């Protein structure tokens, strides 16, 4: 190899290493800034203890246990991502088979050819 080619390869190698180092430092600074903003956003002073008013009892039909009510409330709070109040729970008395039977009949009727 000629001296010019070796010189060009050395320059390319130095340029590649320098560029990689610059990108690494820049990404480290961005990562540090994101971490700092996250810590600043989550930092909150200690809340003052104040008496919390009690929520009214939800309107619950007979036959639904308090455990089921608390499970439904927990699922709603998890799904919505915020505290929710359950005001009314109504138990659907229709048999679950009726819904699937209706869907089966709908599929059969939809499969028939119209003339």
Residue where the block lists tokens 């290493």: 17
Question: What is the distance between the alpha carbons of residues 72 and 79, in angstroms, rounded to a whole number?
Answer: 11
Question: What is the distance between the alpha carbons of residues 84 and 70, in angstroms, rounded to a whole number?
Answer: 11
Residue 29 dihedral angles phi and psi, to the nearest 5°:
-65, -40
pTM score, whole prediction: 0.35
Q: 58 is written with which tokens? A: 């939800």
The answer on pLDDT for 63 being more than 70 is: no
H-helix or E-strand spanning residue 110 = helix 96-111
Per-residue pLDDT tens digits for 29-57: 999 999 999 888 877 766 677 676 666 66
């Amino acid at each position: 190899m000629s001296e010019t080619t070796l010189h060009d390869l050395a320059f390319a190698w130095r340029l590649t290493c320098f560029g990689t180092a610059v990108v690494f430092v820049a990404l480290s600074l961005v990562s540090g800034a994101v971490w700092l903003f996250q810590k600043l956003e989550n930092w909150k002073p200690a809340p003052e203890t104040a008496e919390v008013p009690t929520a009214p009892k939800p309107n619950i039909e007979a036959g639904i246990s308090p455990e089921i009510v608390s499970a439904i409330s927990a699922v709603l709070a998890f799904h919505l991502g915020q505290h929710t109040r359950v005001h009314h729970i109504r138990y659907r008395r229709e048999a679950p088979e009726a819904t699937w039977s209706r869907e089966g009949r709908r599929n059969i009727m939809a499969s028939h050819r119209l003339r």
